[in-house]
Copies of this chain bind each other. A is one copy, B any other.
Amino acid sequence: MNGTKLDHDEDAAAALRQTSLRVTKQRVAVLEAVRDHPHTDTETVIRSVRESLPAVSHQAVYDSLHTLTEVGLLRCIKPSGSVARYERRIGDNHHHLVCRSCSLIVDVDCTIGQAPCLTPSHDAGFVIDQAEVTFWGLCPDCAAAGAQLTGDDQFSAV
């Protein structure tokens, strides 16, 4: 466990060193937290990070998430109605399944190819670099529980 933790730390630190960013314990912890809990929101990342670094400020986490996203170590997703969520899987152009009832987010591999993976019928002259696909529906549990969806879920979902 400790070895694993250290490996993770080292891995995170190595990833940071490959950028021009300074390797700080806050950033390593943030990278760790997102790896361990994919699709988590900032609030949860803050809680995770505070398990090992009780004194981190929320601002440090916000800053780290932004910076790490900028340099491409993290990816930020914001499904409609959701706060920002982060994930470590980057560069593979995968997509997401989102449950309208419980907000569960699941990765779906993109079988079409690399970004943008789809091309619109008319591109209106745009230079397109990414096709972001979000599948909306009910997760197995919510579907089984017969979750009733109202139009309002368009606002409250996720």
Closest B residue to A70 by beta carbon equals B151
Closest B residue to A140 by beta carbon equals B125
B126→A139 contact, CB < 8 A: yes
Given contacts A70-B152, A154-B69, contact A97 B126 (CB under 8 A): yes
Q: Which residue of A72, A120, A154 has the most chain B CB atoms within 10 A of its CB atom?
A: A120
Is the interface on chain A under 10, 10 to 19, 20 to 34, or 35 or more residues? 35 or more
A134→B136 contact, CB < 8 A: no
A111→B106 contact, CB < 8 A: no
What distance in Å separates the Cβ of A132 from its nearest Cβ neighbour in chain B? 5
Task: Select which of B76, B81, B109, B111 is within 8 A of A80 by beta carbon.
Answer: B76
The A121-150 residues at the B interface (CB cut-off 8 A) are: 121-140, 143, 150
State the CA gap A121–B92 with chains docked (Å).
Answer: 15
Given contacts A120-B95, A124-B106, A150-B70, contact A137 B130 (CB under 8 A): yes
What distance in Å separates the Cβ of A118 from its nearest Cβ neighbour in chain B? 7
Taking CB atoms, residues of chain B closer than 8 Å to A97 are 120, 123-124, 126, 128
Q: Which residues of A contact B (CB under 8 A)?
A: 66, 69-72, 76-78, 80-81, 95, 97, 99-100, 106, 108-111, 116, 118, 120-140, 143, 150-152, 154-155
Pick 21 A–B contacts, CB within 8 A, sort by A: A70-B150, A71-B151, A78-B78, A99-B126, A106-B124, A106-B126, A108-B121, A108-B122, A111-B121, A116-B136, A120-B135, A125-B143, A128-B136, A128-B137, A130-B136, A131-B133, A131-B136, A132-B133, A132-B134, A132-B136, A133-B134
